[in-house]
Amino acid sequence: MIKQFDAYSLLNRNTFGIEAKAARFVEFSSTDALRAFLGTGFAGESLVIGGGSNLLFVGDFDGTVFHSAITDIEIVEETATDVLLRVGSGVNWDDLVAYTVEKGWYGLENLSLIPGEVGASAVQNVGAYGVEAGDLIEKVETIRIADVAACLFTKIDCDFAYRHSIFKDAEKGKHIVTYVTYRLKKAADFKLSYGNLKDKVDELGGATLANVRRAVCEIREAKLPNPAEIGSAGSFFMNPVVTAEKAAQLKDEYPAMPQYQLSDGNVKLSAGWLIEQCGWKQTPHSHVGVYKHQALVVVNLGGATGNEVLDFASAVVDSVKEKFGVCLNMEVNVIG
Ligand code: EPU
């Protein structure tokens, strides 16, 4: 089935809570319905939206916004050790995590409570607490907008890296994700080494699927704003990566700076720490600020426009560049 609306308000479709209109909004509940719609000669600009948790609208969108309402979940293969789960792109991400935890399948538990939907998990390669969606993804099914072809991308094709996939690069804007298949495990292989996760799990009684999920939820709830209460798009910037030489120079000057060694020799810094050091937790700009418990999250303090958010973000980028000589790149997609 296809649902279509003209001059559609996106206010409740983006977690920043920014008012913007789409010329047309199209929701599809099956691959066939989507192909039939595109096959009638679709033209013009398009944007695919999931939970709207990684978008910043700075104006109206003069094209078609597509949203998946494909919500079926199917076991496509099960062995003694693995479960291959094919999931519709419109399934709410945290509902999927809760479902797999309830079934006793391991893999997604560290990704609890990330806002958004399954389709975006593949595009953004969402990640938290030492796990990325791409680690679990086996394949991604899409419809290519230009010729309505059904396409299949294997894990390798997807080219996953930190907050990156081929859908943000060579194939950007060309596809609508319909299904994502995840390989989950029937035996525990917990990843608890990030931050205080292990301590939190121990406090809850030790490593079980339910306890890891609960620990991650509690850590997130303490650090990140609830999108239902405070407008934000989660991490606004990506954590910057610098050379070992630059990292050593920064560590000399700022011994408390968190740094994470990467396998390629470079070093990842914490954007949240850098932003906090520039004093942004204390200095909101009228309708926009950073979250009091996590400076990496830019928040709408009420009634902010997209351009106000963008101006605030540029001031943050400039201050970090000036104080540390480090360039911050946005994780959020700016539209309009
Ligand atoms: N920190 C500060 N001040 C702050 C924020 C962070 O000093 O205001 C320090 C923390 O104390 C810690 C370090 O920076 O030493 C890292 O902080 P945190 O563990 O909160 O993680 P992050 O690197 O800031 C990333 C992801 C989050 C994800 C967490 C946990 C990115 C862009 N963000 O944040 O993802 O939940 O790790 O894995 O990689 C998201 O993408 O929306 C998101 C929330």
The model carries a pTM of 0.96
How far is the C-alpha of 259 from the C-alpha of 3, rounded, in Å?
Answer: 48
pLDDT at 79: 98
d(CA 295, CA 303): 20
**How much of the chain exceeds pLDDT 90, in percent?**
97
- In this prediction, residue 189 carries a pLDDT of 93
**Hey, which of 132, 194, 273, 296 would you mutate to test ligand 1's pocket, going by the most ligand atoms within 8 Å of its Cβ?**
296
Cβ of residue 234 lying under 6 Å from some atom of ligand 1: yes
Calculate how far, in angstroms, residue 33's C-alpha sits from the geometric centre of ligand 1: 39
Query: Which of 162, 235, 324 has most ligand 1 atoms within 8 Å of CB, for mutation?
Result: 235
Ligand 1: does its nearest atom lie under 6 Å from the Cβ of 277? Answer: no
**Which ligand 1 atom is the nearest neighbour of the CA of 235?**
42
Kindly report, residue by residue over 260-293, the tens digit of the pLDDT. Answer: 999 999 999 999 999 999 999 999 888 999 999 9
Atom of ligand 1 nearest to the CA of 271: 24
Q: What's the average model confidence in pLDDT over 71-78? A: 98
The answer to whether 153 touches 139, Cβ cutoff 8 Å, is yes
Mean predicted lDDT score pLDDT of the chain: 97
Res 278: pLDDT: 98
Q: Is the pLDDT of residue 326 over 90?
A: yes
Task: Please give the C-alpha separations between residue 194 and each of 2, 218, 262, in angstroms, as whole numbers.
Answer: 42, 14, 14
Please write down the HEC assignment for all residues of the chain. Answer: CEEEEEEEECHHHCCCCCCCEEEEEEEECCHHHHHHHHHCCCCCCEEEECCCCCEEECCCEEEEEEEECCCCEEEEEECCCEEEEEEECCCEHHHHHHHHHHHCCECCHHHCCCCCEHHHHHHHCCEECCEEHHHHEEEEEEEECCCCCEEEEEHHHHCCECCECHHHCCCCCCEEEEEEEEEEECCCCCCCCCCCHHHHHHHCCCCCHHHHHHHHHHHHHHHCCCCCCCEEEEECECCCEECHHHHHHHHHHCCCCCEEECCCCCEEECHHHHHHHCCCCCCCECCEEEECCEEEEEEECCCCCHHHHHHHHHHHHHHHHHHHCCCCCECCEEEC
Res. 228: pLDDT tops 90: no
pLDDT category of residue 117 using cuts at 50, 70 and 90: very high
The residue type at 176: I
CB of 50 shorter than 6 A to ligand 1: no
> What pLDDT score was predicted for residue 51?
96
Express each pLDDT in 205-214 by its tens digit. Answer: 999 999 999 9
Q: What is the arithmetic mean of pLDDT over 145-156?
A: 97
Domains and CATH numbers, the chain: 2-68 (3.30.43.10), 73-199 (3.30.465.10), 231-335 (3.90.78.10)
Q: Does the Cβ of 223 fall within 6 Å of ligand 1?
A: yes
Under the banding of pLDDT at 50, 70 and 90, the label for residue 217 is very high
270 pocket-lining for ligand 1 (C-beta < 6 Å): yes
Task: Please answer whether residues 30 and 72 qualify as being in contact, where contact means their C-beta atoms are separated by less than 8 angstroms.
Answer: no
